[in-house]
Amino acid sequence: MRFRIDKLGVVIAALLAYGAFLAPFANFRANRIVPGEPRAILDALPAGLGTALLIFIAIALVFVVLKTPTLLRLLLGLAALSVLAILIGLSASHLTPPENTYARVSPASGFWLTSFAFALLTADALARLRLSPFARVTLLAAAAAAVAALLMSGAWDGLSILKEYGSRAETFWLEAGRHVLLALGSLVAATLVGLPLGILCHRVETLRAGVLNVLNIIQTIPSIALFGLLIAPLGWIALNVPGAAAIGIRGIGVAPAFVALFLYSLLPVVANTVVGLAGVPRDANDAARGIGMTDRQRLFGVELPLAFPVILTGIRIVLVQNIGLATIAALIGGGGFGVFVFQGIGQTAMDLVLLGAVPTVALAFAAATVLDAATELSNSKPSRAA
Amino acid sequence: MIEIDNITKRYGDNTVVDNVSMTIAPRTVTVIVGTSGSGKTTLMRMINRLVEPTSGAIRIDGEDNRGIPGYELRRRIGYAIQGHGLFPHRTVAENIATVPGLLGWEKSRIEAKVKELLSLFQLDPAAFGPRYPHELSGGQQQRVGVARALAAEPNILLMDEPFGALDPVIRAKAQEDLLAIQKHFGTTIVLVTHDMEEAFHLADKIAVMDKGRIVQYAAPEDMLVNPATDFVETLIGVGERPFRLLSIGTVGEAAEAGTAEGEPLAAATSQRDALSSLLWSGREALPVVGADGVPLGRVTLASLARRAARPR
């Protein structure tokens, strides 16, 4: 029997070896702002468990280096991620002295590296399995449910990030709502404006270059600068346009953040609409006119359905981009997860930064997965109905 | 009847169609031939107003074609193009149902029409109706394209190089089918092509276009005997003349009483193809059968040679 080496497996194994045997697993701090003391796996976990985890990782290490069945690799990746998720919670309760509410335990580089390595293994296995869009979304939902169950069960309550959450539970959900509202709201507005604008650009050639250039230039303005640039005009509108202030338009706050995100969203929506419409087969368009469709019937019956996958790709870009960019809205009082990030930076409390950053990343990842699946579904050539 | 009256189309300084007049008789096949850039496609597209003329008028059955909105006019005129132009996101049945749908036909009537047309084009409605265009072969796509053009029972069918994308064997079959369908519905067909062979095979009348003008508009036989200009003569090809003459008629017309040995020829085969079969098989005569396989007699080398001689 010959053993063959998996190339990506070697990288994963190297990450695992360093993460598990050399890097610290958890950080212990006497209170939330003093520097932490790193703890290796054997110290961070109750005696038997630490040894068991090291043995488990050693076996996994050999398993991933060799060419092994993809399904087994996927199962190993998922199992290992779950084990790590539970153990980091246990580590927190193990390291925190009883009755001590000031001490903080957070995951350290070793935990992140091993998790990343197993996530890489999982992602690689998933890519090789070529799962259907439905299966991918189902898997995402299952993962979300597992994380939710862990959160509800209290297994992670000892972790510093959840202690930060515990003292801000109400604001957390308020800012989460604002974040989603900013990202989704600006996307909806950009689609409502961008789609017709894209269609117009497609039909009127002279308009195309001009509009796309302007949108390109907007895209290159750094986000913080754009927020700043909007303060003056929006402030003026709030003062001088009757009723503007009443509906929440102000120089700072949600309004400029919303407008900035909207402006950034326009380019991908308009550009993809133009590209999608340009990709509609000439024959189909000519035939549509030739058999007596009006311009309107041709647009809704032929052009838009055929351009839809490309337009959806644009919307995916916008949504993921907006979820990330909305973080910066906190700088000008727009709210969102960025509030925790900037508070955390101000207080040098990294756990608080994570409380803002982790949900943002998770949200962006989920949005990307769902919209990728939708794009693939709309793109796949329909086959025989029967 | 289509009357084209002093029609001109200019794009800027470029005159694409230059003061063309012609009358197309009902229930005939008229083929417009010419090199690329001769204006033949533009001329055809002015009939259903995909292109609006700079000056002149076109009357269909005596009525000016500008009397109704362009899209309504186009719903009454069939339109089939090279590469079929089927809608990739709609099934075969939905594609064929497009124009009846635009005209607001009842659902049951549309379904019946789709079935009728698919059967007519030798495509099983149950098997092909729910398929998507990309699941069909090139020949099948082309047939669906023509079926869609005929769905609203138009009196006139415009075709722009409809067989250009097909390989020679399938093209010959498609041409036979078109002639059969033209007889079946009595449709007036205006077909644009650059293929002289196709023109002679299909046309009741051929219009040769060059630089935006009609150089000659005549029945194929007349054009062979009396080409109007050197250009027409070159287009026909002097060496091809007897064979062009043979492509006009079918074996059925040349059949005589009697029997012969060998692989039988279908009556719809062109005389040119029959000559080719005779020469290749080395026989003096071959049997001729009708569409249903009934023997109709035989065709001889001598009779074809007589028919290929210059008419007088």
Is A130 within the bounds of a domain? yes
Q: B45-74, pLDDT tens digit by residue?
A: 999 999 999 999 999 999 999 999 999 999
Residue A385 has its nearest CB partner, among B84, B91, B148, at B91
Q: Are residues A34 and A90 in the same domain?
A: yes
Q: Are residues A142 and A180 in the same domain?
A: no
Look at chain A and report how many structural domains it folds into: 2
Q: What is the distance between the alpha carbons of residues A155 and A52, in angstroms, rounded to a whole number? A: 19
Is A2 within the bounds of a domain? no
B48 touches chain A (CB under 8 A): yes
Q: Please give the backbone phi and psi of residue B152, each rounded to the nearest 5 degrees, phi first.
A: -95, 20
Q: Are residues A188 and A145 in the same domain?
A: no
Site from A283, A291, A384 to mutate, B interface, most B CB atoms within 10 angstroms? A291
Q: What is the distance between the alpha carbons of residues A212 and A215, in angstroms, rounded to a whole number? A: 5
Q: Are residues A133 and A275 in the same domain?
A: no
DSSP B134: G
A386 touches chain B (CB under 8 A): yes
The CATH number of the domain holding residue A271 is 1.10.3720.10
How many CB atoms are closer than 10 A to CB B301?
Answer: 15
Kindly report the nearest CA distance between residue A376 and chain B, in angstroms: 15
Cα nearest neighbour of B80 on chain A:
A287
Q: Which of A160, A185, A201 is the last residue of a domain?
A: A160
Q: What is the pLDDT of residue A246?
A: 77
Average confidence score pLDDT of chain B: 91
Rounded (10°) angle between helices A109-129 and A7-21: 160
Residue span of the structural domain in which A70 resides: 7-160
Is A72 within the bounds of a domain? yes
Length of chain A: 386
**Chain A residues in contact with B79 (beta carbon < 8 A):** 287, 290-291
**Chain B residues in contact with A385 (beta carbon < 8 A):** 91, 130
Q: B83, A386: Cβ pair inside 8 Å?
A: no
Q: Are residues A151 and A237 in the same domain?
A: no
Q: What is the pLDDT of residue B239?
A: 84
Q: What is the distance between the alpha carbons of residues A339 and A327, in angstroms, rounded to a whole number? A: 8
Q: Please give the backbone phi and psi of residue B222, each rounded to the nearest 5 degrees, phi first.
A: -60, -40
Q: Are residues A156 and A183 in the same domain?
A: no
Mean pLDDT for B147-153 is: 93
Q: Are A258 and A332 in contact (CB under 8 A)?
A: no
Q: What is the distance between the alpha carbons of residues B65 and B45, in angstroms, rounded to a whole number? A: 12
Q: What is the pLDDT of residue A167?
A: 85
Structure tokens at A57: 């990782």
**Chain A residues in contact with B135 (beta carbon < 8 A):** 383-384
Is A300 within the bounds of a domain? yes
Q: B184-237, pLDDT tens digit by residue?
A: 899 999 999 998 889 988 999 999 999 999 999 999 988 988 899 999 988 888
B99 touches chain A (CB under 8 A): yes
Q: Are residues A211 and A243 in the same domain?
A: yes
Collapsing DSSP states into helix, strand and coil, what is residue B60? strand
Q: Which of A114, A139, A160 is the last residue of a domain?
A: A160
Range in A213-217, B101-105, B164-168, B205-209 with the lowest mean pLDDT = B164-168
**Chain B residues in contact with A286 (beta carbon < 8 A):** 50, 81, 85
Is A1 within the bounds of a domain? no
Q: What is the pLDDT of residue A169?
A: 86
Q: A287, B75: Cβ pair inside 8 Å?
A: no
Strand order in the sheet with A37-39: A37-39, A26-29, A104-107
Q: What is the distance between the alpha carbons of residues A385 and B22, in angstroms, rounded to a whole number? A: 47
Q: What are the start-end ranges of the H helices in chain A?
A: 7-21, 41-44, 47-65, 70-95, 109-129, 133-153, 160-166, 169-203, 205-220, 223-240, 254-278, 282-290, 295-298, 304-325, 338-346, 350-379
Q: Are residues A149 and A177 in the same domain?
A: no
Structure tokens at A194: 């961008």
Distance, first Cα to last Cα, chain A: 47
The ipTM value here is: 0.84
Q: What is the pLDDT of residue B56?
A: 94
Give the DSSP letter string of B78-110. EEEETT----TTS-HHHHHTHHHHHTT--HHHH
Q: What is the distance between the alpha carbons of residues A16 and A14, in angstroms, rounded to a whole number? A: 5
Q: What is the distance between the alpha carbons of residues A139 and A149, in angstroms, rounded to a whole number? A: 15
- Walk along chain A (386 residues) and give the pLDDT tens digit of each residue: 567 888 889 999 999 999 988 999 998 888 877 788 888 888 888 888 889 999 999 999 999 988 888 889 999 999 999 999 989 988 888 888 877 878 888 888 999 999 999 999 999 998 888 888 888 899 999 999 999 998 888 888 888 888 888 888 889 999 999 999 999 999 999 999 999 999 999 998 888 888 999 998 988 888 888 888 888 888 888 888 887 777 777 777 788 888 889 998 999 999 999 999 999 999 999 999 999 999 999 999 999 999 999 999 999 999 999 999 999 888 888 888 999 999 988 887 888 898 999 999 999 999 999 998 988 888 765 544 33
Q: What is the pLDDT of residue A347?
A: 85
Q: A292, B71: Cβ pair inside 8 Å?
A: yes
Q: Which of A160, A184, A203 is the last residue of a domain?
A: A160
Kindly report the nearest CA distance between residue B72 and chain A, in angstroms: 6
Question: Does the pTM of the predicted model rise above 0.90?
Answer: no
Collapsing DSSP states into helix, strand and coil, what is residue B62? coil
Q: B74, A284: Cβ pair inside 8 Å?
A: no
Q: What is the pLDDT of residue A384?
A: 41
Strands B156-160 and B77-81: parallel
Is A357 within the bounds of a domain? yes
Q: Are residues A32 and A121 in the same domain?
A: yes
Structure tokens at B104: 């607001």
Report CA Rg, chain B: 21
Length of chain B: 312
Q: Are residues A273 and A132 in the same domain?
A: no
DSSP A301: I
How many CB atoms are closer than 10 A to CB A185?
Answer: 17
Side-chain-side CA neighbours of B201 within 13 Å: the count stands at 22
**Chain A residues in contact with B72 (beta carbon < 8 A):** 292
Report CA Rg, chain A: 25
Structure tokens at B218: 């005549």
Q: Please give the backbone phi and psi of residue A339, each rounded to the nearest 5 degrees, phi first.
A: -55, -45
**Does B151 score more than 90 pLDDT?**
yes
Q: What is the distance between the alpha carbons of residues B251 and A202, in angstroms, rounded to a whole number? A: 53
Task: Read off the pLDDT band of B4 (50, 70, 90).
Answer: very high
**Chain A residues in contact with B76 (beta carbon < 8 A):** 292
Q: A287, B79: Cβ pair inside 8 Å?
A: yes
Q: Are residues A242 and A126 in the same domain?
A: no
Q: A293, B102: Cβ pair inside 8 Å?
A: yes
Structure tokens at B285: 């005569």
Q: What is the distance between the alpha carbons of residues B147 and A30, in angstroms, rounded to a whole number? A: 81
Q: Are residues A149 and A174 in the same domain?
A: no
Residue B88 has its nearest CB partner, among A284, A384, A386, at A284
CA-based nearest residue to B65, from B79, B50, B80, B47: B47
* Matching residue, tokens 């003096």: B284
Q: B79, A305: Cβ pair inside 8 Å?
A: no
